[in-house]
């Protein structure tokens, strides 16, 4: 079926039901391949496939479907990937047998368009199956309001970045204060100078399209020069976009020169969806999806985890370890050398997870 929301472009949704009989499910795999061959738009497929993909879908307590390899091959040939889920792990249960038979799978175009979509396994009612709810748009207001500062790798490609950094770095103040000043300045600079990469790209593409149409009817040296300049700007933006998605995807095995922005985008989208917390089980075994309750549940968990609510005895370890010499004690008390700090920083992966200040190792390595 073709679905459309308001004036947005339509996308396609296919509802499936796989036969419990393996032989009859062959027509489902062939049917999906046939649709994929004739479809270039965003596509989502969901329903009861009556087939599992891996041992994880059975909890490891029962065998795989005999045609699970055909199912996997079908998804691969159709360019479909599982959206994952939040909530209880199984969608069907009969006695002690539990399996994930119901799921949503989408192509890359759909996944990019609905990057915040979430699949939720709702509580089971009278049926052997649970309801699987596809939420296309998740309210991220609460999450974005407390989003921490994050350094963008693509900032390093801008000609004014080093100037902005030097302006907000003073030798006479502490490193912590310099970092704080940089973070505040970077937020303003990103908004007023660097700008939104995707918005800039769309604007330049629109201008290039208009110039191309105009040059199709007349020779105009001014427009030809402008077109050349815009091509250069667009190339720079493509590089920034590639670096941005590579950073978001945490991909480290492909060099920046390998232009594959779509791959990085898909990787980052899948990673973001996998890491997003939209449901948690509380101490009563109930699944919670309310944003405020999720925040309280997470905070209370770690408060209780690190609470000192058990009596303890003092450890007497005077005879358990060798005695340090005065020279060794002196080495423990000495200041850390600048060379040691440098070696530690440059031994880190450039785009590994940033610290609490939101700055990855690359920031310190390049400055």
308 - beta bridge partners? Answer: none
| Residue showing tokens 């472009």 | 9
Locate all alpha helices (DSSP H) within 44-86, ordered by sequence.
68-78
Contact by Cβ (8 Å): 301, 282: no
- Which tens digits make up the pLDDT trace of 258-288? 455 555 556 656 666 666 777 788 888 787 8
The DSSP secondary-structure symbol of 308 reads -
pLDDT given at position 18? 92
- Which tens digits make up the pLDDT trace of 126-156? 788 888 999 887 655 545 555 678 888 889 8
86 - beta bridge partners? Answer: 120
pLDDT given at position 49? 94
For the chain, the distance separating the N- and C-terminal CA atoms, rounded to the nearest angstrom, is 54
| Residue showing tokens 């980052």 | 268
Contact by Cβ (8 Å): 278, 86: yes
Quick one: average pLDDT of 315-320? Answer: 74
Averaged confidence pLDDT in the chain: 83
- The encoded tokens of residue 131 equal 């309801």
Cα-flanking dihedrals φ and ψ of residue 281, to 5°? -95, 130
Quick one: average pLDDT of 44-48? Answer: 94
pLDDT given at position 138? 61
Contact by Cβ (8 Å): 243, 154: yes
pLDDT given at position 142? 47
pLDDT given at position 106? 92
CA distances from 209 to 144, 162, 221 (A): 34, 33, 17
pLDDT given at position 114? 86
Quick one: average pLDDT of 319-344? Answer: 86
Is residue 194 predicted with pLDDT exceeding 50? yes
- Which tens digits make up the pLDDT trace of 21-40? 988 999 999 999 999 998 88
Locate all alpha helices (DSSP H) within 216-318, ordered by sequence.
221-249, 261-275, 291-305
16 - beta bridge partners? Answer: 47
Q: Three-class SS of residue 215?
A: helix
Quick one: average pLDDT of 43-54? Answer: 92
pLDDT band (50, 70, 90) for residue 256: very low
Cα-flanking dihedrals φ and ψ of residue 43, to 5°? -140, 135
- The encoded tokens of residue 229 equal 């300049």
| Chain-centroid distance, C-alpha 311 | 42
* Residues in CB range of 244: below 8 A, 6 or more apart: 152, 153, 154, 197
Q: Where in the chain is the domain with CATH 3.60.10.10?
A: 2-138
As a whole number of angstroms, the distance between CA 84 and CA 277 comes to 12
Contact by Cβ (8 Å): 208, 235: no
Quick one: average pLDDT of 185-204? Answer: 90
pLDDT given at position 260? 55
- What's domain 2-138's architecture? 4-Layer Sandwich (3.60)
pLDDT given at position 263? 58
- Which tens digits make up the pLDDT trace of 207-226? 988 898 888 888 889 999 99
pLDDT given at position 275? 67
Handedness of CA 221, 226, 229, 235 (dihedral sign): negative
């Amino acid at each position: 079926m073709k679905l459309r929301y308001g004036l947005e472009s339509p996308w396609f949704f296919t509802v499936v039901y796989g036969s419990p009989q393996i032989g009859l499910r062959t027509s489902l795999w062939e049917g999906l391949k046939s649709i994929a061959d004739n479809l270039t738009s965003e596509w989502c497929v969901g329903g009861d496939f009556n087939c599992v993909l891996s041992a994880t879908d059975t909890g490891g307590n029962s065998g795989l479907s005999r045609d699970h390899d055909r199912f996997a091959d079908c998804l691969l040939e159709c360019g479909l990937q599982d959206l994952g889920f939040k909530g209880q792990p199984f969608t069907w249960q009969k006695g002690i047998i539990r399996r994930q038979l119901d799921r949503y799978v989408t192509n890359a175009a759909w996944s990019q368009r609905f990057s915040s979509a979430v699949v939720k396994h709702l509580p089971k009612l009278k049926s052997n199956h649970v309801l699987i709810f596809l939420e296309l748009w998740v309210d991220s207001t609460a999450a974005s309001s407390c989003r921490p500062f994050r350094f963008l790798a693509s900032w390093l490609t801008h000609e004014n970045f080093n100037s902005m950094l030097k302006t907000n770095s003073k030798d006479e103040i502490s490193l912590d204060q310099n970092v704080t000043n940089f973070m505040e300045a970077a937020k303003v600079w990103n908004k007023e100078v660097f700008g939104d990469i995707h918005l800039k790209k769309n604007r330049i593409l629109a201008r290039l399209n208009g110039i191309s149409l105009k040059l199709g009817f007349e020779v105009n040296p001014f427009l030809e020069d402008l077109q050349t300049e815009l091509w250069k700007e667009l190339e720079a933006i493509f590089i920034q976009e590639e670096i941005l998605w590579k950073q978001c995807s945490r991909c480290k095995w492909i060099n920046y020169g390998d232009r594959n922005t779509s791959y990085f985008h898909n990787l980052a989208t899948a990673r973001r969806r996998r890491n997003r917390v939209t449901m948690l089980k509380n101490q009563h075994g109930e699944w919670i999806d309310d944003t405020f309750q999720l925040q309280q549940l997470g905070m209370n968990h770690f408060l209780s985890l690190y609470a000192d609510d058990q009596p303890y005895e003092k450890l007497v370890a005077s005879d358990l370890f060798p005695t340090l010499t005065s020279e060794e004690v002196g080495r423990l008390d000495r200041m850390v050398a600048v060379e040691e700090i440098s070696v530690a920083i440059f031994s880190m992966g450039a785009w590994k997870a940033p610290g609490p200040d939101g700055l990855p190792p690359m920031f310190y390595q390049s400055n």
